[in-house]
Amino acid sequence: MSQLTDDRQNAVELSIGGMTCASCANRIERKLNKLDGVTATVNYATEKAKVTFPEGVDPQQLIAEVEKAGYTAALPAPPQPDQAEPEPQDELQSLRQRLITSVVLAVPVIAMAMIPALQFTNWQWLSLTLAAPVVVYAGWPFHKAAWTNLRHGAATMDTLISIGTLAALGWSLWALFFGSAGTPGMTHPFAFTIERTDGSGNIYLEAAAGVTAFILAGRYFEARSKRRAGAALRALLELGAKDVELADGRRIPTEQLKTGDRFIVRPGEKIATDGVIEEGTSAVDASMLTGESVPVEVRPGDAVTGATVNAGGRLIVRATRVGADTQLAQMAKLVEDAQTGKAQVQRLADRISGIFVPIVIALALGTLGFWLGTGDGAGAAFTAAVAVLIIACPCALGLATPTALLVGTGRGAQLGILIKGPEVLESTRRIDTVVLDKTGTVTEGRMTLTGVHVAEGESEEEVLRLAGALEHASEHPIAQAIARQARSQATVEDFTNVEGLGVQGIVDGHAVLVGRPRLLEEWSQHLPADLERDLHEAQAAGRTAVAVGWDGKARAVLVVADVVKPTSREAIAQLKALGLTPVLLTGDNEAVARTVAQEVGIDEVIAEVLPADKVDVVKKLQADGKVVAMVGDGVNDAAALAQADLGLAMGTGTDAAIEASDLTLVRGDLRVAADAIRLSRRTLSTIKGNLFWAFAYNVAALPLAALGLLNPMIAGAAMAFSSVFVVTNSLRLRRFK
């Protein structure tokens, strides 16, 4: 049982069966929410219900409540290690069979009704023979759902379809057996206008068969599109390795890995789970997980993520996170949560569709009564009423938001953007200011050797060889920055860390000093004028300068800094193009902050801010009328991320920051922040476009149907097209770049 628990509430995700439209989802939601302490959200597109309930409530009670409403519900089955998950093709296969049957039989019926030349003697009886199986067999899912809903005192779009098609078939049977329609030689010219007759000579078999075929086609393509919309999440879940070879030679399913296990990853294999490299060096391709195409070089001590591919040498990795704790599992959970949730605009659509069906039935009865009252005949009245029933199905309303969310969040996952929930989309629309943490967000977040200044006559290679070897023995971040760049293999003896000043030791027979100028001065090694100038210039720019000397003489100054990420300047330009004002927020001194801001193109800087005060900065901006997005990566950013109107956490940052954010950027590339905002806005725009066309379609078509200007068969085709249009429009998000 997939169940999460905190102190007071439990949560469970139920798989719902039997839903055919948004009205069904709305009805199940209302039923569950009537239970004390229960809060439920039912998603028609994903066919899942997220339910939170208090202690003392058994999930079986929730399932029973759904079944009382006429639907099925089940807790997700636990995965079997050696058993592949079956593809949910049953619904598609059944729909395909019914659709093929209805098309093969309905096309001749429609052709005979439309083309007088095909109306041979007794053609109407052949039409009945062909149309009856379409309405009864192919349309059986509609009639079954309508009957189930009727038993529970409810009405859905299936009710409209069932009543409309059965009424058309029933009227045709009456006209054929008791009216004049069964007379040999009867003709039935197809027209978009209503003939003024008593209806006893009119049959509507082409409408009954055509409507069934068109709506089945819409359902089939809708079901296929929904599967395509959720493909990104399924692909994400399938990224992981299926089995793994342990360091002792045993091969086991990935599900059996435990934290601390050591496993082997050969070139070309997927890394089984999150871990730390213990042996070997390689390049890791994380493109499937992050969207980043350039492989990352890794060595012992580096962390690696499950589902990424070892593109180079043989690695031995120690597992640090397994199962639901891995980054891949957490990404999938975030995406699924976002797809299952509902934005405010969808809640409005749900409320409308919940009352829409009864209103339409009343409108159809009113249309029938009006036309009968005007004396235009039963044929005109009946045709207009059936057209009203068929055209008004609120399928498109129910699909407008979920399908766009499915595709948008799935595409985001492929690009390394995780959207925490649908309400996030509405926040991105209003953002006008983006606050950027400096360290780890705009900059690399680690010290890097940026400059080597040598005294006259000295060799840069020799400076790095001796200084790098000595610094390699130190754990200080500045020392490690120099050591990484130098990659020296020289031998070090008598290494000593001089507290607060630097390090000293013997490297290949040379007495080497690396540290503050004061350390060298204690050994009477004074910087020459040109190196003194280089040191002061570096410090004025907010960088760290380290002096190097050996054998009684100062030889060089090394400059170390937290460098700006190569893509940060481009990212700032993209954020500005979105109409956002970037603000650099940092605890560093003003000089460092100004230098970084100038380099990337940020005009507004707030420096020397204590971690605890970052929240106050966000609050002040909000008090000034700004709608603020915050981008950060550290524990000290978590509170500010939570306070901001929109929080974006760098996926390379801490778990606390990611938990507090609304959007997670899996890659440490600031350009993804701009992509995330663009994708969110595009998804919201798609949702609104879908809802507009769904509403506009019903508003425009209902009066035409009520006025008798819409043939029921054309109404069925239009209704089916509206649903397919909404899903297809959502699928355009798959091309987002």
643-678 pLDDT, tens digit per residue, is 888 888 776 555 555 566 677 787 778 888 888 889
In the predicted model, is pLDDT for residue 430 greater than 70? Answer: yes
Helix and strand counts by DSSP (H, E) for the chain: 25, 27
Indicate the pLDDT class of residue 86, thresholds 50, 70 and 90. very low
State the Rg of the chain over Cα. 34
- How far is CA 599 from each of CA 310, 343, 569, 594, rounded to the nearest angstrom? 35, 39, 7, 8
For 494: left if phi > 0, alpha if psi spans -120 to 50, otherwise beta; the answer is left
Beta bridge partners of 663: 419, 648
Backbone phi, psi, residue 467, to 5°: -65, -40
Of 2.160.10.10, 3.30.70.100, 3.50.50.60, 1.25.40.10, which CATH number belongs to 9-74?
3.30.70.100
Q: Do domains 9-74 and 446-563 have the same CATH topology?
A: no
> How is residue 652 annotated by DSSP?
T
Residue 704 CA to residue 695 CA, distance in Å, equals: 15
Q: Find the Cα–Cα–Cα–Cα dihedral 622, 625, 626, 627, rounded to 10°.
A: 80
The mean pLDDT value for 54-71 works out to 84
Distance CA 260, CA 262 (A): 6
Q: Based on the residue annotation, tell me whether 437 is a catalytic residue of this protein.
A: yes
Q: Give the C-alpha separation, 678 to 613, whole Å.
A: 29
Whether residue 713 contacts residue 210, with contact meaning beta carbons closer than 8 Å, is answered with: yes
The CB density around residue 6, as the number of other CB atoms within 10 Å, is 8
Q: What is the pLDDT of residues 354-368, one digit of tens each?
A: 577 778 788 888 888
Least confident stretch, 160-174, 389-403, 404-418, 444-458: 389-403
Task: Tell me: pLDDT of 728 over 70.
Answer: yes
Rounded average pLDDT over 223-230: 58
Percent of all residues in the chain with a pLDDT value above 70, rounded to a whole number: 78
- Amino acid in the structure at residue 32: L
Backbone angles phi, psi at 314, to 5 degrees: -75, 135
**Which segment, 225-239, 311-325, 397-411, 526-540, is predicted with the most confidence on average?**
526-540
- The predicted structure's pLDDT at residue 434: 93
**pLDDT at 581 exceeding the cut of 90:** yes
pLDDT for position 227 = 62
User: In the chain, what are the domain boundaries?
Assistant: 9-74, 416-443+565-681, 446-563
The pLDDT mean for the chain works out to 79
Task: Judge contact between 208 and 131, C-beta under 8 A.
Answer: yes
pLDDT at site 421? 64
More confidently predicted of 351 and 735: 735
Of 261, 285, 350, 437, catalytic? 437
- 173-218, pLDDT tens digit by residue? 887 887 777 788 777 654 434 443 444 566 778 777 877 887 787 6
Domain 446-563: which CATH number of 3.40.1110.10, 3.40.190.10, 3.30.930.10, 3.40.710.10: 3.40.1110.10
Tell me the mean pLDDT in the region 241-269: 86
pLDDT in tens, 512-546: 999 989 999 999 999 999 999 999 888 887 788 89
Q: CA dihedral in degrees (496, 498, 501, 503; nearest 10)?
A: 0
Backbone angles phi, psi at 271, to 5 degrees: -75, 125
Q: Which of these ranges, 30-44, 255-269, 394-408, 693-707, has the smallest mean pLDDT? A: 394-408
* Residue pLDDT, tens place only, 284-336: 876 555 444 456 778 888 888 888 888 777 889 999 988 877 777 765 665 55
**Please, what sign has the CA dihedral across residues 596, 601, 603, 606?**
negative
Maximum average pLDDT range among 148-162, 263-277, 623-637, 688-702: 263-277
Burial 675-687 (b: 16+ CB within 10 A, else e): bbbbbbebbbebb
Q: Dihedral through CA 366, CA 371, CA 374, CA 379, nearest 10?
A: -150
Q: How confident is the model at residue 80 (pLDDT cuts 50, 70, 90)?
A: very low
| CB count in 10 Å sphere of residue 94 | 14
- What is the phi/psi pair of residue 447, to 5°? -70, 145
Q: Report the distance separating Cα 311 and Cα 176, nearest Å.
A: 74
Asked: is 416-443+565-681 a CATH 3.40.50.300 domain? The reply is no
Q: Which residues contact 665 (CB under 8 A, 6 or more apart)?
A: 416, 417, 418, 631, 648, 649, 650, 651, 672, 673, 676
Phi and psi angles of residue 69, each rounded to the nearest 5 degrees, phi first: -80, -5
Q: What share of the chain in percent tops pLDDT 90?
A: 17
- The DSSP 8-state label assigned to residue 279 in this structure reads E
Give the chain's end-to-end CA distance (angstroms, integer). Answer: 38
Say if residue 508's pLDDT is above 50: yes
Give the integer Cα–Cα distance in Å for 587 and 613.
10
Tell me the longest C-alpha to C-alpha distance in the chain. 123
Strand-pairing partners, residue 546, are 558
Which has the closest alpha carbon to 418: 609, 235, 651? 651
pLDDT attached to residue 385:
78
pLDDT given at position 583: 94
Q: Tell me the C-alpha distance between 211 and 110, whole Å.
A: 10
- State whether the Cα torsion 608-612-613-614 is positive or negative: positive
DSSP code of residue 271: P
pLDDT class for 510, splitting at 50, 70, 90?
very high
pLDDT at position 652, please?
59
Task: Quote the pLDDT of residue 587.
Answer: 74
Give me the amino acid identity at 650: M
Q: What is the pLDDT of residue 455?
A: 93
Looking at residue 647, its pLDDT comes to 82
- Sign of the four-CA dihedral 312, 314, 319, 320: negative
Which whole number is the average pLDDT over 613-621? 85
Residues sharing a CB contact under 8 Å with residue 715, sequence separation 6 or more, in sequence order: 211, 387, 390, 391, 701, 705
Q: How many CB atoms lie within 10 A of CB 496?
A: 11
Collapse the DSSP code of 539 into the 3-class scheme (helix H, G, I; strand E, B; otherwise coil) and give the result.
Answer: helix
Higher pLDDT pick, 94 / 383: 94
What is the residue whose two structure tokens read 């949910």?
88
The helix (run of H) or strand (run of E) holding residue 389 is helix 378-391
State CA 571 to chain mean position distance.
22
Structure tokens at 580: 């956002």
pLDDT tens digits, residue range 434-478?
A: 999 887 788 887 788 889 999 989 999 999 999 999 988 887 778
* Cα distance between residue 384 and residue 192, in whole Å: 11
Task: Determine which of 336-345, 377-386, 628-637, 649-658 has the lowest per-residue pLDDT on average.
Answer: 336-345
